Amino acid sequence: MLLQEKETRVAVPPPRAGVLRTAVQIMGELLITAGVILLLFVAWQLWWTNVESDAKQSEAIKNFVQELGPLAPPSAAPSNPADYGPPVVSEPPSHGGTIGIMYVPRFGADYTRPIAQGTSTDVLDTLGLGHYKNTSMPGAVGNFAVAGHRQTHGAVLDNIHTLVPGDKIYVQTKDGYYVYVFRNNQVVLPTSTDVLLPVPAQPAATPTESFLTMTSCNPRFGAQERIIAYSVLERWQPASAGPPAEIARQVAKARGEG
């Protein structure tokens, strides 16, 4: 008798208490759901976008090196680099097209990232480093400026603050290899477009050197500021001369031969 009464109560709860309890229960479940979704969003942003972008960037590198054709053997030791005259400057590709590959040994022995044309989110969120369209191409007198994410979407410039003056940054295009030397970095406001000028931060100056300017967000996990890394072209060598000996292993690996 008692057991039967209890079962009845569970199956059909008294209406008034039941409505309140159900409302509180649904509310609680919705709040827990919202919390789980927020955690999932953070995981997606900080982890999954990197997984996705790494795959897309590896593919972009693979396609780019396939178009380059066979690789010339590595050039002689860097102690005595040959002079190949003024650098060849390529025509910029269309939006999203691959300009080349950047190698930065300071960011890791195997740091190999594609440089794509454009700085809109569709480029930066998938293809890695994006070239500011209104700036020069690699090797040209003026400023070759690229942007890259610091934390998400491949985190291509996560270690931008670890560069030490004198560090080499290698840009490989279809025409050759451009060796830049890191000079200094700077933290600016997101509105400081003068870092993209032909001579960074000097509106009236006429450029005589080739700069490489990299921009990323600052601080890490924030975007209140931008961190800028300035480098200057030291030398270049045509594709026929082969990759500089220092990055020969990385270049071969990017081609799937390493």
By the criterion CB under 8 A, which residues form the site for other proteins? 25-26, 29-30, 37, 40-41, 44-45, 48, 118-121, 124-125, 130, 132-133, 147-153, 157, 188, 190-193, 195-196, 215-217, 221-223, 226, 228
State CA 60 to chain mean position distance. Answer: 13
Q: Which is nearer to other proteins, 14 or 85 (CB)?
A: 14
Could you check whether the bond before residue 219 is cis, i.e. omega within 30 degrees of 0? yes
Q: Which is nearer to other proteins, 124 or 179 (CB)?
A: 124
Which residue, among 31, 51, 49, has the nearest Cα to 41 in the 3D structure? 49
Which residue, among 250, 252, 220, has the nearest Cα to 103 in the 3D structure? 250
Q: Which is nearer to other proteins, 154 or 243 (CB)?
A: 154
Q: Which is nearer to other proteins, 60 or 124 (CB)?
A: 124
Q: Measured from the CB of residue 228, what is the shortest distance to other proteins in angstroms?
A: 8
Q: Measured from the CB of residue 153, what is the shortest distance to other proteins in angstroms?
A: 7
Which residue, among 241, 224, 214, has the nearest Cα to 74 in the 3D structure? 241
CA distance 128 to 107: 14
| Cα-based angle 170, 182, 172 (whole degrees, multiple of 5) | 10
For residue 183, give the H/E element and its range.
Answer: strand 176-188
Q: Which is nearer to other proteins, 118 or 139 (CB)?
A: 118
Q: Measured from the CB of residue 245, what is the shortest distance to other proteins in angstroms?
A: 32
Q: Concatenated DSSP letters for 61-120? A: HHHHHHHH-SPPPP-S-TTSPPP--SPP-PPP-STT-EEEEEE-GGG-TT-EEEEEE--S
Q: Measured from the CB of residue 93, what is the shortest distance to other proteins in angstroms?
A: 15
Q: Measured from the CB of residue 149, what is the shortest distance to other proteins in angstroms?
A: 5
Q: Which is nearer to other proteins, 38 or 72 (CB)?
A: 38
Q: Supply 250's token pair.
A: 């990385």
Q: Which is nearer to other proteins, 19 or 48 (CB)?
A: 48
* DSSP symbol at 217: E
Q: Measured from the CB of residue 142, what is the shortest distance to other proteins in angstroms?
A: 16
Which amino acid makes up residue 77?
A
Q: Measured from the CB of residue 65, what is the shortest distance to other proteins in angstroms?
A: 26
